[in-house]
Structure 1
Amino acid sequence: MSISITPAANERMRHFLASTPAAAGVRFGVKRTGCSGFAYVVDLAESMDEGDRLLEVDGVPLIVSDKSLALVDGTVIDFQRHGLNASFVFHNPNSTGECGCGESFTVS
């Protein structure tokens, strides 16, 4: 199981965690949605759920559900700013396609 976080994403996640000290970590995974099938989820996790795994990635507690593990294995999480917009960006080797708007992806 391998997930990487760029320095920019690490800084952003640490900022969120520092502002919510009770958080168990950053939840990273996927949900079924969009025109291509899956969308990424990044949020603060209040607690660990059954079926979750805690991964320590460059000092960031990353919580990933067993259901998402195979779909996000190998993903590099980045954080980018473009003008007034800022968002996490995902480089996932498992993705075989994306919808036109870039909000969802498919896997084989």
Structure 2
Amino acid sequence: MMMKIKVLLATLFLSVSTYAVNLRANCWVNGGVNAVCEACNFSYHRPIFCSMQVRGVSSRGFWFNGMQSGVVYPGQCINGYVYANNPYIDPLVHATANTQCQF
């Protein structure tokens, strides 16, 4: 009896486990003022919950961080942003993003 309960609990935990994936993000710097990063759900046919961490670097080497999270439906995208503190003196020159998603 105890063995059946253990097997039942193990099956239950395995059936509700989440599957994690990383989506590739594309980033654009807009005139040194801000950067936009976008990751899209074109590969999966169901909604996924994603967290995106965006990092931008200025011409003087300062890092700016942004975060975005939410449900991304099939064919839709999630966008994240970072902004320069003073784009006229120290503009953004590069941005990158890491997007982790779960089913």
TM-score normalised by L of structure 1: 0.24
Larger helix share, 1 or 2 = 1
TM-score normalised by L of structure 2: 0.25
Larger strand share, 1 or 2 = 2
Where relative contact order (Cα < 8 A, 6+ residues apart) is larger, the structure is 2
